[in-house]
Amino acid sequence: MFQQDIIKRLIEQVGQLIAAALSRAEEGHLKEAEDDLNQAEAALGLPRGYEQFDARSLLILVRGSEKADLLAQIYEARARIFRKSDRLEEAKNLELKAQDLGRSARDRSLSSE
């Protein structure tokens, strides 16, 4: 029960940061939007250089499909910000990583049922 409360609060916190980032990006405040997403990543407890891991390794690193889903949402939000900055190749790479991570999280969730 206690762990579920922690996860629920984490989901709310990260969700608020993602929403703030997307709102700031729409207003053209891209640096502030990036800062919000950096805070969201920090809330997940991700170490420096985590971006280099593949989806399966990230699942182990974040210890659960809920956190993996949050990270995939962060990737998608960052991709939207990159598109606004004309960083199209980076945006595409993040979108693919988000899809791969989401797929791996679903596969892991299904295999543990």
**For the chain, domain boundaries:** 2-111
Average pLDDT over residues 68-85: 93
The predicted-structure confidence for 88-97, as pLDDT tens digits, reads as follows 999 999 999 9
- Quick one: pLDDT at residue 110? 54
Contacts of residue 34, defined as CB under 8 A and 6 or more positions apart, other chains included, come to: 21, 78, 81
* For residue 14, pLDDT beyond 90: yes
State the Cα angle at 75 between 62 and 37, rounded to 5°: 85
**Distance (Å, rounded) from C-alpha 65 to C-alpha 55?**
11
Binning pLDDT at 50, 70 and 90, where does residue 113 land? low
- Quick one: pLDDT at residue 21? 97
- Quick one: pLDDT at residue 112? 58
**What is the overall mean pLDDT for the chain?**
88
